[in-house]
Structure 1
Amino acid sequence: MEPADLTKSTGAGELLQHAAKLTLRLHYRNLVNRSRLKKKCPGSPGEELRDCIEATLSDWFSKPRPPTEHYPETVDFFIDEATDAITPEEREELKVSVKLFLCESSQSSIRDAVQLACHTLAVSQLDSVIIAPPGPQEGESQTLANLQPFWEQLESLVRNQQIAAIGTSDLDKDLLEQLYNWAQVKPSSNQVNLASCCVMPPDLTAFAKEFDIQLLTHNDPKELMSAATFQEVLQEGVQDPNIGDWRLDWVLRYSVIVESRGIIKSKGYLVSAGKASP
Structure 2
Amino acid sequence: MTKILLSTGNIVSGGPSIIRKPGTFRSNLELTNSLRSNFLAAQEDYAAEVAQSHGGAANGNGSTTNGTDANAETGGGRPTASAWTASEDGILYVPAVHWDAHGLQEEPAHYDITAKLFFLPGAVASQRPRFAGEALAHVLRELRAPAVDLLIVSFPGMSFKGDCEWEADRINAGQGNDEDEMATWPAIEELHRAGLAKKLGLAEFGSEKLARFLDKVQVRPAVNQINLKNCCNVPPPLAQLAKEQGIDLLVHSDCTDILPKGTLRDLLGQGLGGAGLLADSETGTGGLRGDLTPQWVVKYTAVVRDRGVIENKGYFAGAELADE
Distance 1:38 1:149, change over 3 A: closer
SS at match of 1:98: strand
Match of 1:192 among 213, 216, 226: 226
Match of 2:305 among 259, 263, 275: 259
- The Cα shift of 1:113 comes to 0.7
| Worse-superposed segment, 260-269 or 76-85 | 76-85
Q: Deviations over 1:181-237 (max 9, x none)?
A: 211101101111101321001111011111110001111123112100110111111
Q: 1:60 and 2:26 equivalent?
A: no
Structure 2 unaligned segments of length 5 or more: list them. 51-81, 159-173, 281-286
Letter in 2 for 1:98: A
Q: How does 1:186-225 map to 2 (within 5 A)?
A: 186-225=220-259
CA distance in 2, matches of 1:48, 1:79: 20
- The Cα shift of 1:22 comes to 1.3
Letter in 2 for 1:109: F
- The Cα shift of 1:134 comes to 2.8
Match of 2:143 among 111, 121, 130: 121
CA distance in 1, matches of 2:20, 2:145: 34
Letter in 2 for 1:202: P
| Worse-superposed segment, 39-48 or 115-124 | 39-48
Q: Are 2:296 and 2:318, in contact at CA under 8 Å, matched by a contact in 1?
A: yes
Distance 1:71 1:49, change over 3 A: closer
CA distance in 2, matches of 1:267, 1:185: 27
Q: 1:85 and 2:107 equivalent?
A: no
SS at match of 1:101: strand
Counterpart position of 1:234: 268
Distance 1:100 1:37, change over 3 A: closer
- The Cα shift of 1:143 comes to 4.0
If you compute each CA radius of gyration, which structure gives the higher value, 1 or 2?
2
Q: Are 2:133 and 2:191, in contact at CA under 8 Å, matched by a contact in 1?
A: yes
Relative to the length of structure 2, the TM-score reads 0.71
- The Cα shift of 1:135 comes to 2.6
Q: 1:26 and 2:8 equivalent?
A: yes
Q: Are 2:19 and 2:30, in contact at CA under 8 Å, matched by a contact in 1?
A: no
SS at match of 1:63: helix
CA distance in 1, matches of 2:220, 2:20: 43
Q: Are 1:96 and 1:127, in contact at CA under 8 Å, matched by a contact in 2?
A: yes
CA distance in 1, matches of 2:303, 2:87: 37
Percent identity, aligned pairs only, is 22
CA distance in 1, matches of 2:12, 2:227: 28
Q: Are 1:27 and 1:83, in contact at CA under 8 Å, matched by a contact in 2?
A: no
Counterpart position of 1:247: 293
SS at match of 1:204: helix
Q: Are 1:128 and 1:167, in contact at CA under 8 Å, matched by a contact in 2?
A: yes
Q: Are 1:85 and 1:122, in contact at CA under 8 Å, matched by a contact in 2?
A: yes
CA RMSD between the two structures: 2.7
CA distance in 1, matches of 2:20, 2:142: 29
Letter in 2 for 1:177: A
Q: Are 2:261 and 2:294, in contact at CA under 8 Å, matched by a contact in 1?
A: yes
Counterpart position of 1:181: 215
Counterpart position of 1:109: 131
CA distance in 2, matches of 1:33, 1:165: 32
- The Cα shift of 1:277 comes to 4.9
Q: Deviations over 1:111-170 (max 9, x none)?
A: 11111111111111111111112338xxx6224322112211100111111111111011
CA distance in 1, matches of 2:260, 2:146: 32
Counterpart position of 2:64: none
CA distance in 1, matches of 2:19, 2:6: 22
Q: How does 1:140-155 map to 2 (within 5 A)?
A: 141-155=175-189
CA distance in 1, matches of 2:151, 2:87: 33
- The Cα shift of 1:30 comes to 6.7
